[in-house]
Amino acid sequence: MTAILRAYPHIGHWLTLNADGTVRVRSGKVEFGQGIRTAQAQIVAHELAVPVARVHVEDVTTTASPDEGVTSGSRSVEEANEGLRVAAAALRLALVDRASQRCSVPTDRLRVVDGCVVLRDGDRIPYGSLVDDQIQATLITGDEPLAEPVPGSPIGVAVPRVDLPAKVFGRPAFVQDLELPGMLHGRVCRPPAPQARLVDCEADEVAAMAGVRAIVRDGTFLAVLAEREEQAVRAARRLRRLSRWGPGPPLPASAAFMLEAETRDVVAAEDGAPTANGDVALRLAATYSRPYLAHASIGPSCAVAVTEGDRYRVWTHSQGIYHLRQELAKVLRVDEDQVEVIHREGAGCYGANGADDAALDAALLARAVPGTPVRLQWMRDDEFAWEPYGTAMFIRISADVAADGTILHWHHEVWGNGHRNRPGSAGAVGAAERLDGDPAADLTNLIAGAEIADALQASVAAPPPSPSSGGGRNANPIYAFPRRRVVNHYVPHTPVRVSALRSLGAHANVFAIESFMDEVADRIGADPIDYRLRYLSDPRAREVIERVRVASEWAGRRDRDGRGLDIGFAQYKNDGAYVAVVADVEIADDIALPRAWAACDAGLVVNPDGLANQLEGGIIQAASWTLKEQVTFTPEGITSRDWMSYPILTFSEAPELHVEIVPRPHEPPRGIGEAVAGPTAAAIANAIFAASGVRLRDMPLTRDRFIRAA
């Protein structure tokens, strides 16, 4: 029995069957555009044999939903399979049991079809008529047999997304659209640089502006509340001009400080025997990097909050509402049960954006106007300057290669800050000197928690809880090398705020591994696909590679005539989905990516169209990271603060995509949202080399870098 079912052992924790035969679903996993609500409805509909339209997935709240932690790591479908799905199976068994008792027919003579228990003679008992007071309290054993995927079941079917109609027709759909009676609008005035402190603020002039209801100044936390949104925007702009901040600690010249920094090292993998020196014909080494990357959600972070007596209610697009509640209670100095957190969708987040920070900002503003609801939205530059970035990373790989081209020894070292610093992050740490200490209660992950007068200490992103997570994710190549050593250098000095970004370390690790594989294959004159297959015996890995080989009409590495095709491959987390990508690059005035092909094996697929959508979006976002993106800064602060200074891939630059899914209905489901990032990055770098003979190892792979390297 899984831990989540031990914590929430009753059917009623997960599901309510109504007398009209509809089903209400409670889950702790939240929607952010990945389609999880639809997938959850399909899973429950499948186990209960009811139409998907009869299943309603409720909003996630701390008052009613099971605490399933953070919605992250591409784990939601996997975990639904082990929690929610088992609860639905238990409900099906309970219903069959009741029908059996009512009709005195053994359970093995009963079937479930279309929301009814069906007897041998064809008589049907609708589920709704079997509901009684006890059914919610039924204990889930964890041994309930799951319904087989059969024809007609909604599992494996491209059910349309339940959340899309509201968005297509412009109805309120996001936390940004929530409106409460008498609600005030808030904006924050953050310092010009990380950790700069507020010295002085001439608030009187702003307080007299039209519509301004309150200026909230608490330590360095500075914000304004107004009756109308445009008044709040105007007042915040003025307030910022009338405020003086001290300097923050200077930022480094570039992320390359990491290679010289003090580190904490973990050997993530080490196996195999030393090679006799005589066998080594070639020693190759290369260093790869990626910069700090922004999540860059299209909708800046937002929250709505209100106090009722000594209680807080907060609406948020956080990925982990229970953890957020704990963090809010800590900063606000109240008990957790005085805080209710309600999830509403925000724009896609791709990891820890400003959602949790905005929730605390809103709560602090609500505290200043007791009983009055407050809507707080960050402006675009707040999001760009203050969201926690995905850490920059450096990867150095060296290999000993035998005369026949076989890799004898692979040595991978990865440098980076941490990848987790959100509410609930295990082991989030304080200042560097406290790394060995207990992650104490006086630390906070939230910006304002360290800004207010009654401040907690700002935590920094923690070292990975296990060698294969965080910066170690996908650092260990999946290839069967006879000897390997993988070292993770965690860099505690974290000059800019960082936390989880989609795929954590896998993006840069796979970029480096797959680039290096390509470099070795080129040196020994091997076909890049054939060369990878030498080291892969897993038939599922081989199949995704063979599929993109066929789909892309692969004909070996192209001549260096300005157009090139090449591959990237990985198994996410080394135990998740298999993904292979072939990128088609054209180099003329700029580096263009007109096409890409992908094949994936994600085990049991609940919604093939939803999976394809995640795969396609993952390729395009990873192409954007890889070709265009980097957070820029000077010693004085962050300089990438809008879409001009932080450009992302546009419609005209996006590739046409061809994706294939290998059907594996009898394998456990594996998340896909993050699995394609690394293979895409590597396929692009390799295709640039195929097109031009120029090897780019530092992301972003820009025109300027290409010209310098050519």
Partner 1 sequence: MTTLLVNGHRLESAAEPDTPLLYVLRNDLGLKGSRFGCGDGMCGACTVLLDGRPTTSCNLPISAVADRSITTIEGLGDEEHPHPMQRAILDLQAAQCGYCLTGVVMTGAALLAERGALSRSEIRAALDGVLCRCGAYDRMVRAVERAADLARAGA
Question: Shortest approach of partner 1 to residue 462 CB, angstroms?
Answer: 26
Which stretch in 29-37, 94-102, 242-250, 662-670 sits in contact with partner 1 by CB under 8 A?
Answer: 29-37
Between 200 and 230, CB nearer to partner 1? 230
Residues 647, 640: Cα–Cα separation, whole Å:
9
Assess 208 for contact with partner 1 (CB under 8 A).
no
Assess 171 for contact with partner 1 (CB under 8 A).
yes
Cα separations in angstroms, 475 against 75, 267, 509:
19, 11, 5
Which stretch in 55-63, 275-283, 454-462, 619-627 sits in contact with partner 1 by CB under 8 A?
Answer: 619-627
Which stretch in 106-114, 228-236, 322-330, 687-695 sits in contact with partner 1 by CB under 8 A?
Answer: 228-236
Question: Shortest approach of partner 1 to residue 296 CB, angstroms?
Answer: 6
Q: CA 618, 622, 73: angle at the middle one, nearest 5?
A: 55
Q: Work out which of 229, 336, 340, 660 binds partner 1, going by CB under 8 A.
A: 229
Question: Shortest approach of partner 1 to residue 179 CB, angstroms?
Answer: 8
Question: Shortest approach of partner 1 to residue 653 CB, angstroms?
Answer: 9
Between 233 and 709, CB nearer to partner 1? 233
Residues 677, 507: Cα–Cα separation, whole Å:
5
In this structure, what token pair is assigned to residue 647? Answer: 């450009």
Which stretch in 4-12, 177-185, 445-453, 462-470 sits in contact with partner 1 by CB under 8 A?
Answer: 177-185
DSSP code of residue 388: P
CB 366 within 8 A of CB 341: no
Between 233 and 536, CB nearer to partner 1? 233
Q: Work out which of 298, 403, 440, 480 binds partner 1, going by CB under 8 A.
A: 298
Assess 296 for contact with partner 1 (CB under 8 A).
yes
- Phi, then psi, of 380 in degrees rounded to 5: -55, -45
Q: CA 597, 410, 700: angle at the middle one, nearest 5?
A: 45
- By rule CB under 8 A, what count of residues binds partner 1? 64
Question: Shortest approach of partner 1 to residue 358 CB, angstroms?
Answer: 13
- Phi, then psi, of 295 in degrees rounded to 5: -70, -40
Question: Shortest approach of partner 1 to residue 82 CB, angstroms?
Answer: 25
- Detail the DSSP E strand segments found in 417-503: 443-444, 457-458, 484-490
DSSP per-residue string spanning 290-338: E--B----SS--EEEEEEETTEEEEEE--S-HHHHHHHHHHHHTS-GGG
Question: Shortest approach of partner 1 to residue 132 CB, angstroms?
Answer: 37
CB 42 within 8 A of CB 157: yes
HSE toward the beta carbon, residue 656, CA cutoff 13 A:
3
Cβ contacts of 547 within 8 Å, gap of 6 or more: 580, 599, 660, 662
Question: Shortest approach of partner 1 to residue 86 CB, angstroms?
Answer: 28
Between 174 and 535, CB nearer to partner 1? 174
CB 24 within 8 A of CB 30: no
Residues 256, 21: Cα–Cα separation, whole Å:
60
Q: Work out which of 143, 179, 262, 310 binds partner 1, going by CB under 8 A.
A: 179
Assess 439 for contact with partner 1 (CB under 8 A).
no
- Determine the straight-line distance between the first and last CA of the chain, rounded to whole angstroms: 57
Assess 113 for contact with partner 1 (CB under 8 A).
no
In this structure, what token pair is assigned to residue 384? Answer: 């760009």
Q: CA 108, 113, 114: angle at the middle one, nearest 5?
A: 155
Assess 308 for contact with partner 1 (CB under 8 A).
no
Assess 83 for contact with partner 1 (CB under 8 A).
no
- Count Cβ atoms below 10 Å from residue 623 Cβ, excluding itself: 26
* Residue linked to tokens 């219903």: 95
CB 651 within 8 A of CB 518: no
Which stretch in 339-347, 443-451, 583-591, 700-708 sits in contact with partner 1 by CB under 8 A?
Answer: 339-347
Residues 553, 510: Cα–Cα separation, whole Å:
24
Assess 209 for contact with partner 1 (CB under 8 A).
no
Cα separations in angstroms, 543 against 420, 531, 657, 660, 662:
33, 15, 19, 11, 8
For the chain, the 3-state helix, strand and coil shares in percent, each to the nearest 5, are 30, 25, 45
In this structure, what token pair is assigned to residue 43? Answer: 């899973």
Question: Shortest approach of partner 1 to residue 657 CB, angstroms?
Answer: 5
Pairing mode of beta strands 264-271, 484-490: antiparallel
The partner residues of 308 in beta bridges, in order of sequence, read 311
Question: Shortest approach of partner 1 to residue 375 CB, angstroms?
Answer: 10
Assess 230 for contact with partner 1 (CB under 8 A).
yes
Helix (H, G, I), strand (E, B) or coil at 528: helix
Q: Work out which of 10, 24, 124, 380 binds partner 1, going by CB under 8 A.
A: 380
Q: Work out which of 10, 24, 56, 167 binds partner 1, going by CB under 8 A.
A: 167
Q: Work out which of 609, 660, 667, 698 binds partner 1, going by CB under 8 A.
A: 609
Residues 564-593 that bind partner 1 (CB under 8 A): none
Between 183 and 284, CB nearer to partner 1? 183
Between 159 and 305, CB nearer to partner 1? 159
Assess 619 for contact with partner 1 (CB under 8 A).
yes
Assess 674 for contact with partner 1 (CB under 8 A).
no
Q: Work out which of 59, 67, 97, 163 binds partner 1, going by CB under 8 A.
A: 163
Question: Shortest approach of partner 1 to residue 524 CB, angstroms?
Answer: 35
Assess 348 for contact with partner 1 (CB under 8 A).
yes
Sign of CA dihedral 538, 539, 542, 547: negative
Between 156 and 477, CB nearer to partner 1? 156
CB 436 within 8 A of CB 427: no
Burial class (CB in 10 A: 0-12, 13-18, 19+), 82: middle
Q: Work out which of 102, 165, 530, 665 binds partner 1, going by CB under 8 A.
A: 165
Q: Work out which of 71, 74, 289, 297 binds partner 1, going by CB under 8 A.
A: 297
Q: Work out which of 504, 579, 620, 687 binds partner 1, going by CB under 8 A.
A: 620
Assess 34 for contact with partner 1 (CB under 8 A).
yes
Between 108 and 169, CB nearer to partner 1? 169
Between 113 and 164, CB nearer to partner 1? 164
Q: Work out which of 377, 494, 509, 571 binds partner 1, going by CB under 8 A.
A: 377
Residues 142, 150: Cα–Cα separation, whole Å:
22
Between 339 and 342, CB nearer to partner 1? 342
CB 59 within 8 A of CB 342: yes
Which stretch in 71-79, 242-250, 343-351, 511-519 sits in contact with partner 1 by CB under 8 A?
Answer: 343-351
Helix (H, G, I), strand (E, B) or coil at 198: strand
Binding mask 621-660 for partner 1 (x = CB under 8 A): x-xx-----------------xxx---xxxxx-xxxx---
Give the binding site for partner 1 (CB under 8 A).
Answer: 32-35, 158, 160-161, 163-165, 167-174, 176-177, 179, 185, 210, 228-230, 233, 296-300, 345-348, 350, 377, 379-380, 609-610, 613-614, 616-621, 623-624, 642-644, 648-652, 654-657
